[in-house]
């Protein structure tokens, strides 16, 4: 067996940075890559019933060029203080670089922010 056949075709290294302007909120990016597809399905926890606005940006740069996707929306945390934001899927190659950024706002106030990038 050659060394090349023992190395996975896609080696993923996620670097994540989290920022919470309000300790009451927690943001989980829910990012994974499988079969050449980047799937992002963020989840948030915080005070039950709170209405939030979110912004999500996914950027990919690779041999096929540059791709940029932006989404924004509103969500209300359920009675257990949880909610899922919109999901996003993007095709990625083994040598592509990508970045996912999510920001959460309560009214006009930034309450949580997280980003994931590769490499």
Domains of the chain: 12-118 (2.60.40.2420)
- Residue 9: pLDDT over 50: no
List all residues 6 or more positions away from 10 whose beta carbon is below 8 Å from its beta carbon.
Answer: 33, 36, 94
The neighbouring-strand residues paired with 39 are 32, 89
Asked if 83 contacts 113 with a C-beta cutoff of 8 angstroms, the reply is no
Residue 19: predicted pLDDT: 55
Angle of CA points 117, 118, 119, to nearest 5° = 125
How far apart (Å, rounded) are the C-alpha atoms in residues 17 and 4? 32
pLDDT for 46 equals: 97
Over residues 78-93, the mean pLDDT reads 95
Q: DSSP secondary structure string, 54-79?
A: EEEEEEEEETTEEEEEEEEEEEE--T
pLDDT band at residue 20 using 50, 70 and 90 as cut-offs: low
Q: Compare 31 and 1 and report the one with higher pLDDT.
A: 31
Using pLDDT thresholds of 50, 70 and 90, give the confidence band for residue 18. low
- Main-chain phi, psi angles of 70, to 5 degrees: -125, 140
Residue 14, both tokens: 């996620």
pLDDT tens profile 50-72: 999 999 999 999 988 999 999 99
Q: What is the pLDDT of residue 8?
A: 37
């Amino acid at each position: 067996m050659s060394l090349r056949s023992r190395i996975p075709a896609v080696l993923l290294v996620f670097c994540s940075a989290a920022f919470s302007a309000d300790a009451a909120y927690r943001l989980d990016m829910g990012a994974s890559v499988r079969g050449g597809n980047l799937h992002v399905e963020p989840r948030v926890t915080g005070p039950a019933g709170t209405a939030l606005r979110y912004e999500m940006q996914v950027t990919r740069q690779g041999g096929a060029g540059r791709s940029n996707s932006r989404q924004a929306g509103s969500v209300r945390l359920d009675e257990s203080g949880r909610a899922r934001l919109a999901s996003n899927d993007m095709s990625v190659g083994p040598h592509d670089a990508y970045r996912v950024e999510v920001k959460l706002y309560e009214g006009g106030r930034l309450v949580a922010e997280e980003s994931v990038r590769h490499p």
